[in-house]
Amino acid sequence: MEKTLAIIKPDAVKKGLIGKIIQRIEEEGFKISGLKMLHLTKEDAKAFYIVHKDKSFYDSLTDFMSSGEIVVMILERENAISHWRKVMGATDPALAEPGTIRHEFGSSVERNAVHGSDSPSTAEWEISFFYKDMQLEKIK
């Protein structure tokens, strides 16, 4: 069983899409082993997206991610990382395949409804960022 981190971003939370996205996650065979809603501070958003600190979109992204509530989840299933990325769709909703979450609910590269880890090492780091208080199995 592989684990990945998923985030329902502020745009999707504000649009009332939490239930639809969670339903899709469950329909795709994921087990949700962690779930919480929170509001990131700008400092927390900067820390979470530190990998992008030298990119032109860093400030805008961290402003957006700290602009409202998010839902953070740990998802589990076989090939969780690659399967979640397939379900999410391309970062740009205009390029995402029909039927993907970003195609259905995203409006721009930044406001694209959801986030997902891109590798096992990233998933491990991202999960520990939000779930410091939990005892978590090592991601393999």
Q: List active site positions.
A: 115
Rounded to the nearest 5°, which phi and psi values hold at 116? -150, 150
Full DSSP string of 75-127? EEETTHHHHHHHHH--SSTTTSPTTSHHHHH--SSSS-SEEE-SSHHHHHHHH
Contact 116, 81 (CB under 8 A): yes
- What is the distance, to the nearest Å, from the Cα of residue 67 to the centroid of all Cα atoms in its chain? 15
| Secondary structure class of 44 (helix, strand, coil) | helix
